[in-house]
Amino acid sequence: MADTQPCDPFAEYGLADPFIPSDFFWQPGMLVAGVDEVGRGPLVGAVVTAAVILDPKYPIVGLADSKKISEKKRLALESEIKSHALGWALGRAEPDEIDQLNILHATMLAMQRAVAALPVEAHAVLIDGNRVPALQCPAQAVVKGDGRVPAISAASILAKVARDREMYALHARYPQYGFDRHKGYPTAVHMAALEQHGALAEHRRSFGPVAAAIAQGNLF
């Protein structure tokens, strides 16, 4: 008889308090993707998402919320995730899409794009946060999932590394804004640079500080 008890999709990680899905019934062999985003709060650049299906035969040591580990550790884990996951993909929504849709709906779109881009089909999806985009498979939101679900932790790391690289590239073009330090978030340094140098094409025009700068004719 098939096991009808709720199961831990990531039992191989031996978590003390594993997350057990309640919106779908997981069974061995079912491929569960973790999804997370980075970049909802910044004033500039895309919101970047990642979807990851981990290989249960290759548990990755050290997975955690990307914000709680060092950049050096994130880079090492990024390489391991990409090498050993059964599938991974990135998604994104650009600043103009964010301005048109709002950041919430743009984030949902970016998550859909990441899941759709996976090289293998996910049977179910676990998503960090409290909202779920429309998908072709069962999905469940997990509050603080980047610290509770290994596949979401992996997605958090891939999205964070990818977006940080974009901010370093933007810094190389516009060093006066300090993107290498604040990654586009509305810090005092960024706000001062926005006031002094104006809004870039990469800035999100629907966000208050950027809209205020544009209203004052303050464009780079």
Task: Inform me whether the pLDDT recorded for 3 exceeds 60.
Answer: no
Can you name the residues that pair with 199 across neighbouring β-strands? 219
CB 49 within 8 A of CB 88: no
> CA–CA distance from 212 to each of 162, 180, 198, 199, 216 (Å)?
29, 23, 10, 10, 6
Which one, of 163, 159, 161, lies nearest residue 129 by Cα?
159
CB 135 within 8 A of CB 108: no
Domains belonging to the chain, first-starting first, are 11-174 (3.30.420.10)
What is d(CA 212, CA 98) in angstroms, rounded to the nearest whole number?
Answer: 17
Question: Per-residue confidence at 1, pLDDT binned at 50, 70, 90?
Answer: very low
Q: Each residue of 24-58: pLDDT tens digit?
A: 999 889 999 999 999 999 999 999 999 999 999 99
What is d(CA 50, CA 179) in angstroms, rounded to the nearest whole number?
Answer: 22
Q: What is the pTM of this model?
A: 0.95
Q: Each residue of 73-128: pLDDT tens digit?
A: 999 999 999 999 999 999 999 999 999 999 999 999 999 999 999 999 999 999 99
Q: Each residue of 135-151: pLDDT tens digit?
A: 999 999 999 999 999 99
